[in-house]
Amino acid sequence: MHTKRTAASLKILHGIKLMLAACSPIGLTGDASPQVIPMIQDKRQSLSGVSRAAMRLLQVAVVAGIVSCAALLHAEDRAVKQRVSPVYPELARRMHIGGVVRIEATVAPDGSVSATKTLSGNHMLSGAAEDAVHKWKFVPGSEESTVEVAIDFKTTD
């Protein structure tokens, strides 16, 4: 029984290698999932012995991995032309609440911020961080892009 599990684990690792190969920039042209799932299904002989449920799980993992890779490839590092400091919320200041708030900003081709979304950080600080980043100006680019920024709220004791 132990040998079967080890063999199945090795076959699943082989499937993960396929996922990593699919994450290469060459494999990410548009929606890559229709290209990758048949590729995995063509490898059925090398993945024989893996249950249907495990195969389906592997397919879902591959698609999720591709989406993650695509998100990383589409994120850009655009230089900030004009930064606006956040207004420290008074209640948070009184309560000595600080920390880093990570914001995802959608930047229009002209460099203005069209949307913001808090990725992590204290909820009491996230509104102020989003408001500040929404006022930032970035270097113009050829198309809309997504950037991730960190706003550090430091408490003064």
Per cent of the chain over pLDDT 90 is 46
Q: In the chain, which segments carry CATH 3.30.2420.10? A: 80-153
Supply the pLDDT for residue 77: 73
CATH ID of 80-153, from 3.30.2420.10, 3.40.1050.10, 3.40.50.2300, 3.30.70.940: 3.30.2420.10
* CA–CA distance, 94 with 118 (Å, rounded to integer): 23
pLDDT of residue 69 exceeding 60, the answer is no
Answer whether 0.85 is exceeded by the pTM: no
| 131 vs 14 pLDDT, higher one | 131
Supply the pLDDT for residue 87: 94
| 61 vs 31 pLDDT, higher one | 61
The DSSP symbol for 140 reads -
Amino acid identity, residue 64? A
Cβ–Cβ under 8 Å, residues 132 and 125: no
Region 108-133: mean pLDDT is 95
Q: At what angle do helices 2-22 and 52-74 cross, to 10 degrees?
A: 30
Cβ–Cβ under 8 Å, residues 107 and 145: yes
Q: What is the mean pLDDT of the chain?
A: 74
Exposure of 138 by Cβ count < 10 A (0-12 exposed, 13-18 middle, 19+ buried)?
buried
